[in-house]
A and B are shown apart, each in its own frame.
Chain A
Amino acid sequence: EVQLVESGGGLVQPGGSLRLSCAASGFTFRSYEMNWVRQAPGKGLEWVSYIRTTSTTVYYADSVKGRFTISRDDAKNSLYLQMNSLRPEDTAVYYCAREGRTTVGGMDVWGQGTTVTVSS
Chain B
Amino acid sequence: SSVLTQPPSVSVAPGKTARITCGGNNIGSKSVHWYQQKPGQAPVLVIYYDNERPSGIPERLSGSNSGNTATLTISRVEAGDEADYYCQVWDVSSDHRVFGGGTKLTVL
A-side residues, CB < 8 A to B, are 35, 37, 44-47, 50, 57, 59, 61-62, 95, 97, 100, 103-108, 110-113
Is B23 in contact with chain A by the CB < 8 A criterion? no
List the 5 closest pairs (A to B, CB-CB), nearest first. A106-B48, A106-B33, A44-B102, A47-B97, A103-B48
A88 to B49, CA, bound (A): 35
Interface residues of B in 1-57 (CB under 8 A from A): 1, 31, 33, 35, 37, 42-45, 47-49, 52, 54
Within 8 Å by CB of A45, from B43, B48, B49, lies: B43
Complex contact A104–B95 (CB within 8 A) = no
Instruction: Chain A residues near B90: list those with CB within 8 A.
Output: 105
Instruction: Chain B residues near A111: list those with CB within 8 A.
Output: 42
A59 to B37, CA, bound (A): 25
Complex contact B42–A95 (CB within 8 A) = yes
Complex contact B99–A45 (CB within 8 A) = yes
B-side residues, CB < 8 A to A, are 1, 31, 33, 35, 37, 42-45, 47-49, 52, 54, 84, 86, 88, 90, 94-102
A105 to B34, CA, bound (A): 11
Complex contact A105–B35 (CB within 8 A) = no
- Since A44-B86, A105-B33 are in contact, a sample of 4 more A-B pairs with Cβ atoms closer than 8 Å, ordered by chain A residue number, is A103-B52, A104-B48, A108-B45, A108-B48
For chains A and B in complex, what number of residue pairs have CB atoms within 8 angstroms?
A: 76
A110 to B65, CA, bound (A): 25
Nearest residue (CB) in B for A45 is B99
Complex contact A45–B86 (CB within 8 A) = yes
Smallest CB separation, B38 vs chain A (Å): 12
Within 8 Å by CB of B97, from A35, A62, A100, A113, lies: A35
